[in-house]
Every structure is written in C-alpha cells, then in structure tokens.
Structure 1
Amino acid sequence: MQSKTLKVHPDDNIAVALTTLAKDAVISNGLGEIILQETIPAKHKFALNDLQQGDDVIMYGVLVGKAIKAISKGGLITTANIKHAANTYTLKERNTQWNKPDILKWQQRTFMGYHRADGSVGTANHWLIIPMVFCENKNVDALQEALLKALGYKKSRSRYELITESLVAQYRLGRTADEILNNVIAIEENTDTHKKIFPDIDGIKILNHTLGCAGTKDDTTALCGLLAGYITHPNVAGATVLSLGCQNAQLAILEEEIYKRDKQFSKPLFLLEQQKIGNETKMLEQATRQTFAGLMQANECKREPASLNKLCIGLECGGSDGFSGITANPAVGHVADIIVALGGAVVLSEFPELCGVEQNLSDRCVDDATAEKFMHLMRTYNERAKAVGSGFDSNPSAGNIRDGLITDAMKSAGAAKKGGSSPVTDVLDYPGKITKPGLNLLCTPGSDIESTTAEVAAGANLVLFTTGLGTPTGNPVTPVIKISTNTTLYNKMNDIIDINTGTIVDGKETVEQAGERIFEYIIKVASGEVQAKANATNHDDFIPWKRGISL
C-alpha cells in the first residue's frame, strides 16, 4: 500500500501529507501512532510531536520555522502557528564529498547541436532583434513582424484570429451575446504556415524591455551585460540592435560587455542608431536588409554531434507547491548530478529561495573565497530587501502558502534540492557568465521569469523548470522544459508541461528513475528532436532584473 505521509529527514518534527488526511485518522507508518487533530490537506504538514511556543520547526533536517503558539501532535502546520526562521551561517571547513551517480551508459552519448567559434554548443539557432532602450520597442516589433511573415515563421492567421472571425460572422447573423458565449465554435487547425526560407534558423526573437534610460549606472551596466549575455549565447546566431542614441545604455557599453564575455566575438552583429540615421523608415529598411544578410550567413550553421559535457542547464522553479521539494526538485537534482559527473555545467539561482540552506551550500563551495562570495551576496541581498521594507521571509506567494509552503525557509529547503549534491564550483553575481563546469550559483531574485532570463544570459542552453501550481513561462532563445510536481497538475495543464514527476508520490517510480527519464528527454530537446512545450506555444518571456526591487 502506498504511504500517505512522508517524513523527509530523520531529524524532522513535521511530516508531509501525500494525500488529504481526515481528522481523527491514525497515522502509524513508521512515525509512531499519531491521531490527526484536524484534516490535513495534501501537500501540507502536521506535527509529529507536541510543539510549544518558541520551539524549532524542522524539515529537510534544517530549521524552517518557529512555533508561535502551542501545536498538538497531529496538528496542521499553518501561518497561524509558525513563522519563518532560519539558521545562521558562517565560514566552515570545506565539505565537497558528494553522491556521484553512475554515468557509464551516457559517457559515449552525444546530442546534435550548433557549434560556435568560442567552443560552446547551442541547442537552438536563433536570430535576435534587440532594443537598447524601451523607446525602440515599437521599431523592434515592426521589424520582427515583417520578417516572421515573409520568412515563414508565422501563420497568416492564428487560431484566435480564426475564432474572432467566427464570432464576427455570428454577430452579423444577429446572434445574441448569450448565444455567442454558449455556442460551440468549430475551428479547424490553421496550417497555412509558409515553408521557412531559412530552415536552420529556429526563430527570429525580440528582447523587448522597459529599461535603458533614466536608471542608475548599475542598472545600465547590468542591462548591457544581460543583453551581451544573450548576443554571445550559444543558442544565438547573430543579432540586430536598435538604439535611439541619447539613452544611458549606449552601444559602446554593450560592445564592451560583449567582448568581456567573448574576446574573439565573430557572430554577425548589426548596430543601428536612430538619431544618427535620422529617418525611421530608412533605419528600418537598413535593418531589414542587414538582418536578411545575417540570416543567410547564420543559416549555414548545421546541427552536428556534441559531447554531453557541452550542456549547460538552468535549474528553475515557479508556482511551487508542497510536493516540489520531494518530487520534481530532487529529480532535477539527480539530473544536475548526472550532468556535473559528465563534465557539464548547471546553474542554481533564486537566492531568496536559498534562505536557510546557506550553510550547506557554502560548505560545498570548492574553496573559502567562493564560499565567502556566496555568503556576502546572500547577506547583502537580504539586507537591501529589508531596507525597503521586506526581506527573504516575504518571498513565498499566496499560492505557495495555500499549497503547503508556509515559510521561506521551508520553500528554500525544497528549492535547493534542484542543485543536487555536487560541489559548488563558482558563485556569480548578476548578470555573470558561466565559465566553469560543475554546479554554479547565480545571484538572481526568486521571481521565476527574471531568474530564468538571467540563467540564460549566463549561458544556460537549456532550462529545467519545476512547477506545482502551473506556469506557462518560457524563454526567447533557450528551451524551457516544464516539470510538474504532481499528476493532477500534469493532467490539467499538459499543453504547457512536458514531464510529470507526480509519479514519485504515486509510487510508480523513484526520484532517480524520474531524473533519468528527464535526462533522456533533455537529450532529445537539445538535439531538436522534440520541442519543449513552452517554446512550441511561443512563451518568449524576457524580464531584466532591476536590482533591489523584486524578491
């Protein structure tokens, strides 16, 4: 019989309900006999012994909260009876021993990727159109729209345009509003996409944003570094950049950031400044001509076999729930360990969601300097957040709390499982670039789109994104593979979610088996054999982090 509860770590004094448990139910599967004091919803936690006010609440073997009132054995853990608390951390001895997985069956495997001059390998081949400042967003949109239709990347009419046309026809026939709302609309799938002119260019993507002017010097440098990360990214073949001219984010700063990341940068890059060119139409005509020539060059790059150590995987979560830390996140952690063992790189970000596990991560850093950098970034970020009336303890969203993540430390202890068990080889500040194989830590907010945006800028050529509540998040240039923590979510939202790890709670496979299934899917997506659903549905989310604002 499948267990209905889980005590994650031997030291824990709370356990997780794997299914909704009724009040007065007796739990006795290795936890001792516990009579539940109230109904425990699935994903939520209950006390394994009586807790007094001020007692530590332990989960994943770490401090995740403090009792703010007495909690009876078998009582539901809620925001009304515990508050966030996390252990302090300091520099200690290195602890870089890890559970290295058996990688024998993958050592000779390859994926089909796009090889770049700097030695990196892309899992896709995109052209970018980038505004240096929000004033150019309209021009960027116009340029992309013209190219997408003419080059065969866009259907002449979307499904929703076809629906609207049907509604217009009903309106003209005199249908009432109620009839229009309730009538079934039969829409045939629109298949009128023209054949792509450049078959080896996966897409023409834009990076619209709201920054570039009137910000601080740090904002300007960070934006230019972020954009440079995308231009030099292995999934990008080249770029067209539109600048107004008078903004803070100057083209010269962008070029400097590009050559910081790639001293031998040789991709086609076209920089156009509207105030120098003058006429807007003339600028867009020039941009169109140059972009077309660049696409011709970029289309010459073909997929070729590449070692799996060329994979650089972003580890991300969003819309997390009470199962995230026991299904999808540890399964992704197993994938991370496989990739590191093969010589590849992974990047764990979302620093507000590492609150409470700082000691473990700092101990795993390969040297003292790396550990000190991580601790410094964590403390500085938290202090800045507190200075504007918040703190890491404010990170959990309403949805997180509703589905069992009561404190930030509880959320963090589960979120950190995505990083696996390998040593931390490097710590990067935003918007840094990954230069070392192994587990990298990147300072970003917990906001999933801002964090994913940053992981890709750092070099992630594929992102694993776990979710318990469901989110359509994607990225313009990097495949984002969505992984559900529970089967109910997967069945409900499998149009945007690729893989289900609710099978772990369902008792159908182990964490390791789920991880290996994810890894095999990664190879297919990286090779272009399968398209990640977020990308197939054009969820091209791009949000730069304006530092100090979001958690």
Structure 2
Amino acid sequence: MDMYNRSSSSQPLSVAHGAVAQGQPIDLLSVAVLLHVQDDVAIARIPLNRGVKLRLPPACRRDGVDMLEVTQRIQAGHKVALHALEQGEAVHRYGSVIGFALQPIHAGEHVHTHNVAVGELDQRYEYGVDVRPVAYLPSDQRRTFMGYQRPDGLVGTRNYVAIISSVNCSASAVRMIERCFSPELMRAYPNVDGVIGLTHKSGCGMQMGGEGVQQLQRVLTGMALHPNVAAYLFVGLGCEVNQLQEMFEQIKFEEEGQWKTPLFLGLQEHHGIAYTVDEGARLIGEALPRVNMLRREPISISELTLALQCGGSDSWSGITANPALGYCVDELVRQGGTAVLSETPEIYGAEHMLLRRARTRVIGEQFVERLHWWEQYTALNNMVMDNNPSPGNKQGGLTTIYEKSLGAIAKGGTTPINAVYNYAEPITERGLVIMDTPGYDPVSVTGQVAGGANVIAFTTGRGSMFGYKPVPSIKIASNSSTYENLIGDMDINAGVVLDGVSIQEVGMQILDEVIAVASGKQSKSEAQGIGEEEFAPWILGATM
C-alpha cells in the first residue's frame, strides 16, 4: 500500500513510542498515518493527548484550514477527525466509505463506534475493469521448496496420518486410537509428522441428503484426500445420517491416481469401543512404515496453495500485515502459485474493489450471489453483517465491518480473481481465488484446507495463537507491540512497516518464510503442538 505518508519528508515513528503532549504544532504525518488524501480521518501512530496541535499536509486541507487541535485523548491505532463532519455524512478511510456519522463530528475528535456506524452503501459494481495480465516468471526461474510429490499430482508440505470421525458419536474412539501413538513410539517414524485425530460436533441430526450433510462430506473427504495426509482411517458409529458409504462414493477409489488405501471402521459393526480402538491402532500401525518411506524433493512453488487469514485484527492490520501479505501473494501468483482469499463477511463493504479484478463478469456475479446469501443468512438468524467486527477488533481501532473489510482484502494483493468456490470445494484454478467461508478463523481455515490449501498465512493485530493440522500456519503480527508481547507465537513482525521498512521487503520476508515452512521448518504454533482442536467444519442448517 502506498500510504500518503510515503510522499512526506516526515520520519515514521514506531507505535511503541510515548504519547504526544501539548506544545508547539507538529506535522500530522509525523504522528499519524494518512492513507488517502480524500480520507476524513488519520490513524494515530502514538497516543495523542488533548490539546495537541497538528499541522495538516497541503493536500488534505479544506477551506484554507491548515491546523487542527486534538479535543480528546486518542489511543494509538485509533482515528482522529481531520475536519468537521455533519450527521449522516460518509466517513472515509482508504479513500472509501467506512461508515456514516451518527452525530456532528468536530475536527480533532476521536472517531469510533460512539459517533460512526454502518449505513446504506451506494456501491457501484464494475466487473473486471482493473484486470491486468500477470507477468508470469518462466518455469525454470521459479523458486522451489522441499515437498512431497503425491501420485495423484498433488503436492504436500507435511506427511501425516489422519483418523477422521464421520460423526461426533465416534469422536472418543478416534481420540483413543490417536493416543495409542505416543511421542516415544513415533520416534521410530521420523518422516511422519504425526498421527492426528480430526473430530467434530456434527454428523447426525441433519437432513438426509441436505446441503448441511453434503458440505460436511466435502470437508471430511477433502481432509482424507489432502496431499498432507498420506494415510487415513475413517471411524463412524453406523446409524448416523452422515454415512461412510456415501463419502466413499465421493472419493471414487477406482479413479486413476487414487493412491491411498481406504480404511474405515464402524463402532456398531466392530463390537464397540474396545475392539474398534484395537483394530484402528492395528491398521494405523501397519500404515506407518509405508508413510515413513516417503521423502521430500525439490518442487516449484507453483504447487503451493496459500490460505489467507486474518484474526484478531486491529487498525494496523490493513496498513502493515495485510498489504505485506498481499505483496507475497502477488509474487507467489507470478511464480504460478495459488492463494485463497476467504472470510466472506469480512469482505462485505469492500467487494466493489475486488469485483473490479474479477477475470470475468460471471466470476464477479458468483461472488455477489454469495454476499446476498450472507445477507439472507444473517437476517434469518437475527443478526446483521456489522455483528463483525469483534470487541477486540474495536479495541484495536476498527469501527465498522466496512473498515475491517477494506483492510482485510489487502491480503489478496492485486492480481485477477480467477474463481469463486463454495465452502470446501476442491480448488482447481491457479492464481488468486475466493472461497466462501465464515469469518470465524477455525471454520474458515477448515474449508480452505479441505479445498486443498497446503500452507496458511495468518495476520493478526491483537494476537492469535492459531495453529492447524495437517497444514502449518504462519503468524504475522501487524504491530511491534503484539510481536514482542507474543514473541513465542508470532513468526513475522510486519509492524516494522511503521518504522519505515517497505511493504515489499516485509512481503518478500513472508514469502521466504512460506517457502521455509512448506519445506519442513516448524511454524511457532506447530512447534507447540497446536492445531487439532481447530478442525471445525461449518455446520449448516437446523440440528434436529
């Protein structure tokens, strides 16, 4: 992102520096971030005390006014009004509307939830007008990583064995089988990343053949066929709505390239818990030597599918971490790779910008249809789209879903949008694609991974300890304070952008880390064993 500040001679300050008190007038751009000359607000880099006088840059002065006085203390990351706004007037950040004034706002006031809210947007959808050809690197110039080339043509970044429950009724049996494979036992299989249990809270009390059970089956079969899973065992109860036989019909074992032996057990058919656990442990034990024989080899990063996530966002996320990740995405796409933008409710209000990059009108209209579905879905459940942002987002300076979305879409970089997928659908197009998911991180990532993502890049402002199995998650902090406070959990500090490091430099650092982690380096969440409880399929429809 080219911040207006970059054209100023002011030296950027770290948000960790102390508050600015009253005294001589100071340049706005030395203590705040202005993203667009048409913005009505600037973002305080450091706390601004009441009475501080700020000298406005020439491009954003109105009616000859070149100075404003801060009228109340404004925390770092929060917004200060650059000029007066009338009640009902649109408030701009990123050069776009982030909300509407609930009351008259005076220059120098704190702009947040007490005086700004969402309203009716008059969005103009223009499809594909900003599509630009991607300057792809020749295949012989593309970077490589050390991955697992699978017989079906897919590429893994990890080498797991998964035990998957078809229904919550078999979840305890899955955990018991998993516990049979202790760290001491697994030392005999150094090339296996682990035996993981993927359990969930659904699988019955659903409509037979309905959308909910079909979506769950997409998730579970997607995990079984994922390139990071070298062998799998399904465990069911037997009488559940989500029948194992139906899932196996989706897997289509007879198709060429299908290389994993289908293993499944039913508790009712196999005489209950004890026998099923013993038999499950035997089947997994037989698979481990075969999985352990698999080895990494050099593979083009065109085979990486990067899941894009943000959680615990703050006002800096759309200025530092998300644009840096977007730069990484552009470079990955330029080298033939794939990136998956999701969290549909966190695109709401910023969709007009993405639609300008839709490769075709049909692709753009597919995404608009999903947004309309979300409007109906939230209304049906007595919610509104502005229920997101969360309390933590608001504490970090984000006021409305429009503001959050405008920062969130920066993760997607600048390349064309090549496809729109429903939740957990197999991802077959390369380049930047969108998958429709909720904004809730575990549920969103589960869909992305079931669709084929083999690395996760996760930006956070407030701090998230998110990890995932069987796919590694890289955590990118939006500010230095969070990075330093959670240094055992954060992989990259994008907050250095506020100290003058370029978006491009941090973006390349992220790409380097993606390649290293894809090659086997443990991310910080992975090293702490985080990731199984985060498997959370999206449960659609009524539970009966």
TM-score by length of 1: 0.88
Pair 68,34 (structure 1): closer, same or farther in 2 beyond 3 Å: same
Instruction: List per-residue Cα deviations over 1:246-273 (Å, max 9, x = no partner).
Output: 0011112212333399764221331111
Aligned runs of 1:463-482 on 2, under 5 Å? 463-482=456-475
How far did residue 105 of structure 1 move? 12
Q: Determine if the alignment matches structure 1 residue 256 to structure 2 residue 275.
A: no
Given candidates 369, 373, 383, the residue that maps to 1:376 is 369
Query: 2:473 touches 2:525 (CA, 8 Å); kept in 1?
Result: yes
2:508 corresponds to: 516
- Find the counterpart in structure 1 of residue 326 from structure 2: 333
State the shift of 1:501 in Å: 0.7
After TM superposition, the structure 1 stretch with the greater mean CA deviation from structure 2, 348-357 or 214-223, is: 214-223
Contact 1:86/1:355 (CA < 8 Å) preserved in 2? no
Alignment of 1:81-230 (within 5 A): 81-85=115-119, 87-89=121-123, 91-98=125-132, 107-149=141-183, 151-152=185-186, 196-216=187-207, 217-230=210-223
Residues 1:323 and 2:350 are matched in the alignment: no
Deviations along 1:208-254, whole A, 9 cap, x unmatched?
11111102322211111101111111111010110111001111221
Distance 1:451 1:263, change over 3 A: farther
Matched, 1:28 2:55: yes
CA distance in 1, matches of 2:377, 2:138: 46
Q: CA deviation at 1:499?
A: 0.7
Identify the match of residue 518 of structure 2 among 499, 517, 526: 526
Match of 1:44 in 2: 78
Distance of 1:233 and 1:261 partners within structure 2: 17
Contact 1:232 1:261 in 2 (8 A): no
Q: What is aligned with 1:299?
A: 292
Is residue 74–residue 110 contact of structure 2 (8 Å, CA) maintained in 1? yes
Whether contact under 8 Å (1:91, 1:371) holds in the other structure is: no
CA shift in 2, pair 1:95/1:117, >3 Å: farther
Distance 1:249 1:269 in 2: 17
Rounded Cα–Cα distance in structure 1 between residues aligned with 2:140 and 2:103: 52
C-alpha displacement at 1:88, in angstroms? 4.2
Residues 419, 434 of structure 2: 8 Å contact kept: yes
**Structure 2: distance between partners of 1:398 and 1:338:** 34
Tell me which moved more, 441-450 or 382-391. 382-391
TM-score by length of 2: 0.89
CA distance in 2 between counterparts of 1:365 and 1:506 reads: 34
Partner of 2:443: 450
Structure 1, unpaired ranges of 5+:
153-195
Which one of the candidate residues 359, 368, 371 is aligned to 1:366?
Answer: 359
Give the stretch that moved more between structures: 540-549 or 6-15.
Answer: 540-549
In structure 2, the residue matched to 1:80 is: 114
Structure 1 equivalent of residue 302 of structure 2: 309
Which amino acid counterpart does residue 199 of structure 2 have in structure 1?
A: N
- Check whether the contact 2:423–2:448 (CA below 8 A) recurs between aligned residues: no
Q: Give how far 1:338 is off.
A: 0.7
Whether the 8 Å contact between 1:44 and 1:322 is mirrored in structure 2 is yes
The 2-side partners of 1:431 and 1:198 are apart by 31
After superposition, the Cα gap between the structure-2 partners of 1:121 and 1:256, relative to the gap in structure 1 and judged at 3 Å, is same
Q: Distance in 1 between matches of 2:127 and 2:358?
A: 10
Counterpart AA for 1:139? A
Asked if the contact 1:37–1:74 (Cα under 8 Å) also holds between the matched residues in 2, the reply is yes
Which position in structure 2 is the counterpart of 1:437? 430
Question: Which amino acid counterpart does residue 116 of structure 1 have in structure 2?
Answer: R
Is the partner of 2:38 in helix, strand or coil?
A: coil
Counterpart Cα distance in 1 of 2:254 and 2:444:
19
Once residues 545 and 510 of structure 1 are traced to their aligned partners in structure 2, the CA distance between those partners, rounded to angstroms, is 37
Question: Is the 8 Å Cα contact of residues 421 and 435 (structure 2) preserved in structure 1?
Answer: yes
Q: 1:90 to 1:373 in 2, by over 3 A?
A: farther
Distance in 2 between the 1:259 and 1:344 partners? 27
Change (3 A) 1:264 1:89: farther
Tell me how far apart the structure 2 counterparts of residues 436 and 499 of structure 1 sit (CA, whole Å).
29
CA distance in 2, matches of 1:108, 1:52: 53
In the alignment, is the contact (CA less than 8 A) between 1:261 and 1:433 conserved in 2? no
Partner amino acid, structure 2, of 1:371:
G
SS at match of 2:402: helix
Q: Cα gap change, 1:95/1:86 in structure 2, threshold over 3 Å: closer, same or farther?
A: farther
Cα RMSD of the aligned pairs, angstroms, is 2.0
Q: Does 1:9 align with 2:45?
A: no
Q: Secondary structure at the match of 1:268?
A: coil
Q: Is residue 127–residue 360 contact of structure 2 (8 Å, CA) maintained in 1?
A: no
Cα distance in structure 1, aligned partners of 2:538 and 2:154: 25
| Mapped partners of 1:445, 1:106: distance in 2 | 38
Q: Bigger shift: 37-46 or 278-287?
A: 278-287
CA contact (8 A) 2:127 2:364 kept: no
**Contact 1:103 1:338 (8 Å CA) reproduced:** no
Rate the CA distance shift 1:390–1:273 in 2: closer, same or farther, 3 A. Answer: same
